[in-house]
Structures are given as structure tokens and as C-alpha cells.
């Protein structure tokens, strides 16, 4: 049950909505987006056929009233003044399109189209499928980057509580990618963050391949201590049999869902204890793995996502350099180190380890190892070394109680 990707632009200046030609004129100025055709429809509004690189999209533009539903949550930091302006906004521009091909590329292209309609003049964007509010500043940075945004922007994991300790986790946004939504039943306040990582890792796997994982199929998502974490997805009706005491996410809850969002095309994540269980399709509730999740689990990140993160971290190194000038800031940097030969596996030659930045040189950094390496002998926590910029795969700036990553450097602008 695939849905379209509908976003609503909330411009900084609402008077910009009074001239319907202005956004189109702005779009025509874009050097990256070609307008191949323009049509109008009484119901759909303005229909544009746009080409970005080799991708062609049919995009509907339609002025619409702005109303932020309670379930929509900010994905970024907004100032009090920005939140006030968003609350007072009355008119925005709906941008609707279908995802075809790579979902991450389609999302990236939609962000580029949105920014081209109101270049650097966007207060916020409401991403309706994912039920999140994007910062206009972030949209501007993301659109101008040569690196697509993280796959996590394509969906949201919502947590619904029973008012006590039980939490029902479920996603929104994956259906626009042609995928099913994901759930974990009977999570808890002290474990939902770990369970969130399980959902995120499974979702990333589907988004990497741009295809559904068949229900019951075994998927390796990480490792905790000596236990491999192998996940699968099953229909929610079948999953509820494993959770007879569930009080949220029940069949009754779903029956009250007017649009059937949580009763169709949504699957609950379960685990396999081993290869024999995977072969026999013997599912185990996530909660059986909770003790292992307390042992510093490592969740799988694909080579494609690792490269995307590294490319973004390197692209935005100037913000790290600027932050390093303030000696009160603490900066940590993730470095890709060559694994020792006995630990090298196919498509996995590097171990990514956190260091604390000590010095910046012309084309390298000096940094101190902040953790023990698993697969690289001869180095230990506290060792200081020099590493080239190209070995950087991520970084974080801790400044005045804030943590700034390559993704949210818009907060430093």
C-alpha cells in the first residue's frame, strides 16, 4: 500500500504565498533542476514534470492551509521565535511526488526541489508521511550538499505508552518507499532506545536494498558480546500471540484506527536465537535479547551508509575546524582503521573507532583513542596518533551543552 511523499513548505514570509508565480520563477532559476512540462489540474493544482540528473518526477504543487497535527514532532532544533512563527503560519505550499527508484535519492531530490522553490526562505517543512517537522535551515544545507541526507530522515519511530512502563514502537514513512512499516511490541522505558536501534537498523537494511524483506527472512543486524543479533519481521496478528498481556498496539487499538494505518502493511520485529530457529521459523520476542543489549551492542552499518557518513563528515570539516578554535569545545572524531588480517571479513576491512581531537594539521589530525579497539592490535585507549582527513568517518562537537554532528551544522551557521 504505497503512498506518495507529501510535504508542506512553510515559508519565512507568508506574503510569498500571495504570488503563485514566484516559487515557479525561483525553480526556473535552478541550474540543477529542469522543467520539462507544466500542466494544471482542478484537484491536483500545478503539475510539473521535473528532471534532476537522470531522474524524472511528476510533482504536484498546491497552496494549502498549515495545521501542525499533534503527532508531528520537530526533527531539528527550532528557536522560540521560529516555533512562534510556525504556530502562527496559516498558508504553505504542498509538494507531492511519488518515489521511484532509490528512495534516499528521491527524498534528496524532493528536498532540492523544495529549496529551489523558496531558496533560503523556508521556515520549516512538514514531512507528512514521516510526521516530522524539518528545519528550513537544515533543508537549505541538505539541498546544497552533494551528499544525500541520512536514510533515517525517510521515517520516524514513534513511541506510544500505556501511561505506565509499556511502550509500542512503530514507524511512519516507509510506505512511501514501497516498504512496510515496522513495530516492536511491549518495549519499556529502559529499553526502548535499544529497541529503536533495532528498528532503525532493519529499516536501513531495506532502504539500502530498496526492496521489502520477506516476512520470516533472517536478517543479521549486529552483535552483542558473543551473540549475533538476527532479526525478522512477521505480521502483527501473528506477533500478538507472543504478547498476550500487551495493552497498546492491540487488535482493539488497530480497529479504532480510522485510516487502517496500523492494521495494514505493518510488521512486528522478532528475533532468531540461532540458525536452526531461522530454518524452522521459530520466532523469539525481542525482549529475550535484552540482557545482551546491555553489553555494548554493535549494530550493523552498511558500507554504503558508512561511505555516505564519511563523505558528509569530510565535506563539512570546515565547521569542525572553526569549532576547534574555541578551546572550551570538546571534539571527538571517528577514524576508520585497518583491521588486523585475522579479523578481515568480506566487505569489512575497517574498524571505526572514536578519538578525541587534539590538533589539526594541514591535511591530518592528531587524536587520542577514547576506547579499546576490537580488531586492531597494538593500540590501546589513550594512545595518540596522526590520521589523514580521508580516514575520518564521523565527528561530534560538544559545545555549551550541545552536541553538533555533520548533519546539524546548520545550528552553527
Q: What are 36-45's pLDDT values in tens digits?
A: 999 998 888 8
Chain segment 325-369, per-residue pLDDT in tens: 999 999 999 999 989 888 777 567 888 899 999 999 999 999 999
Looking at 267, 299, 331, the residue that finishes a domain is 299
- Non-local CB neighbours of 176 within 8 Å, separated by 6+ positions: 2, 3, 4, 5, 99, 103, 129, 154
What is the grid cell recorded at 124?
Answer: 520549516
Q: Which helix (H) or strand (E) holds 159?
A: strand 156-161
Chain segment 288-335, per-residue pLDDT in tens: 999 988 877 888 888 889 899 999 999 999 999 999 999 999 999 999
Q: Is the dihedral of CA 70, 256, 266, 59 positive or negative?
A: negative
Residues 21 and 127 both lie in one domain: yes
* Pick from 16-20, 251-255, 387-391: least confident: 16-20
DSSP 249-271: S-HHHHHT-TT-TTTSSEEEEEE
* Pick from 174-183, 192-201, 218-227: least confident: 218-227
Residues 133 and 193 both lie in one domain: no
What's the whole-number average pLDDT of the chain? Answer: 93
What is the grid cell recorded at 209?
Answer: 536494498
In whole angstroms, how far apart are CA 19 and each of 93, 111, 181, 300?
A: 12, 22, 39, 48
Q: How many CA atoms lie within 13 A of 300 on its CB side?
A: 22
pTM: 0.93
Q: What's 114's domain CATH number?
A: 3.30.310
Residues 24 and 135 both lie in one domain: yes
DSSP 34-47: EEEEEEEETTTEEE
Q: Quote the DSSP letter at residue 286.
A: G
Residues 263 and 232 both lie in one domain: yes
Cα end-to-end span (Å), the chain: 40
**Mean pLDDT of all residues in 373-383:** 88
Distance (Å, whole) CA 306 – CA 391: 12
Residues 216 and 91 both lie in one domain: no
Length of the chain: 413
C-alpha Rg value of the chain to the nearest Å:
23
Distance (Å, whole) CA 224 – CA 374: 13
Residues 295 and 355 both lie in one domain: no
At residue 343, the pLDDT reads: 79
What is the grid cell recorded at 286?
Answer: 525481542
Residues 275 and 318 both lie in one domain: no
Residues 322 and 381 both lie in one domain: yes
Residues 193 and 118 both lie in one domain: no
The larger pLDDT score, comparing residue 30 to residue 259, is at 30
Looking at 275, 299, 323, the residue that finishes a domain is 299
**Mean pLDDT of all residues in 244-259:** 89
Residues 131 and 78 both lie in one domain: yes
Count of domains for the chain: 3
Distance (Å, whole) CA 112 – CA 27: 10
At residue 256, the pLDDT reads: 82
At residue 347, the pLDDT reads: 60
Residues 20 and 138 both lie in one domain: yes
- Non-local CB neighbours of 11 within 8 Å, separated by 6+ positions: 17, 92, 93, 118, 121, 122, 123
Q: Is 100 left (phi over 0), alpha (psi -120 to 50) or beta?
A: beta
At residue 14, the pLDDT reads: 85
Looking at 101, 128, 153, the residue that finishes a domain is 153
| Angle at the Cα of 238 from the Cα atoms of 248 and 293, rounded to 5 degrees | 65
Which residue range(s) make up the domain with 13? 5-153
Residues 254 and 348 both lie in one domain: no
Phi, psi of 323 (to 5 degrees): -65, -30
Amino acid at each position: 500500500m504505497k503512498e506518495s511523499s507529501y510535504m508542506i513548505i512553510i515559508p519565512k514570509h507568508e506574503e510569498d504565498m500571495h504570488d503563485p508565480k514566484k516559487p515557479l520563477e525561483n525553480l526556473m532559476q535552478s541550474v540543477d533542476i529542469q522543467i520539462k512540462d507544466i500542466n494544471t489540474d482542478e484537484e491536483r493544482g500545478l503539475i510539473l514534470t521535473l528532471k534532476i540528473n537522470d531522474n524524472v518526477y511528476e510533482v504536484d504543487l498546491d497552496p494549502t492551509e498549515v495545521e501542525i497535527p499533534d503527532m508531528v514532532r520537530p526533527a531539528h532544533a527550532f528557536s522560540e521565535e521560529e516555533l512562534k512563527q510556525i504556530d502562527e503560519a496559516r498558508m504553505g505550499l504542498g509538494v507531492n511526488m511519488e518515489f521511484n527508484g532509490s528512495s534516499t535519492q528521491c527524498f534528496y531530490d524532493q528536498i532540492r526541489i523544495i529549496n529551489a522553490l523558496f531558496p533560503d526562505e523556508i521556515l520549516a517543512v512538514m514531512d507528512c508521511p514521516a510526521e516530522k517537522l524539518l528545519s528550513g535551515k537544515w533543508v537549505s544545507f541538505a539541498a546544497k550538499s552533494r551528499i544525500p541526507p541520512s536514510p533515517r530522515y525517510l521515517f520516524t519511530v514513534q513511541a506510544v505508552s500505556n501511561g505506565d512502563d509499556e511502550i509500542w514502537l512503530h514507524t511512519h514513512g516507509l510506505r512511501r518507499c514501497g516498504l512496510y512499516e515496522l513495530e516492536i511490541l511491549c518495549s519499556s522505558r529502559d529499553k526502548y532506545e535499544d529497541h529503536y536501534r533495532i528498528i532503525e537498523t532493519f529499516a536501513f537494511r531495506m532502504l539500502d536494498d530498496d526492496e521489502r524483506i520477506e516476512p520470516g527472512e533472517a536478517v543479521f543486524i549486529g552483535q552483542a558480546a558473543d551473540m549475533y543479533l538476527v532479526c525478522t519481521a512477521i505480521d502483527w496478528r501473528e506477533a500478538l500471540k507472543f504478547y498476550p498481556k500487551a495493552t497498546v498496539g492491540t487488535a482493539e487499538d488497530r480497529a479504532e484506527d480510522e485510516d487502517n494505518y496500523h492494521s495494514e502493511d505493518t510488521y512486528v520485529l522478532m528475533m532468531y536465537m540461532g540458525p536452526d530457529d531461522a530454518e524452522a521459523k521459530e520466532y523469539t520476542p525481542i525482549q529475550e535479547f535484552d540482557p545482551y543489549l546491555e553489553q555494548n551492542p554493535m549494530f550493523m552499518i552498511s558500507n554504503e551508509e558508512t561511505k555516505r557518513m564519511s563523505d558528509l563528515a569530510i565535506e563539512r570539516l570546515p565547521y569542525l575546524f572553526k569549532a576547534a578554535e574555541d578551546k572550551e569545545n570538546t571534539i571527538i572524531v571517528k577514524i576508520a582503521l585497518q583491521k588486523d588480517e585475522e579479523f578481515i571479513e568480506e566487505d569489512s576491512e575497517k574498524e571505526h573507532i572514536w578519538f578525541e581531537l587534539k590538533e589539526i594539521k594541514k591535511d591530518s589530525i592528531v587524536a587520542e583513542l577514547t576506547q579499546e579497539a576490537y580488531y586492531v592490535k597494538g593500540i590501546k585507549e589513550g594512545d595518540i596518533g596522526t590520521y589523514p582527513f580521508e580516514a575520518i568517518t564521523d565527528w561530534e562537537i560538544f559545545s555549551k551543552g550541545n552536541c553538533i554532528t555533520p548533519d546539524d551544522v546548520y545550528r552553527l551557521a
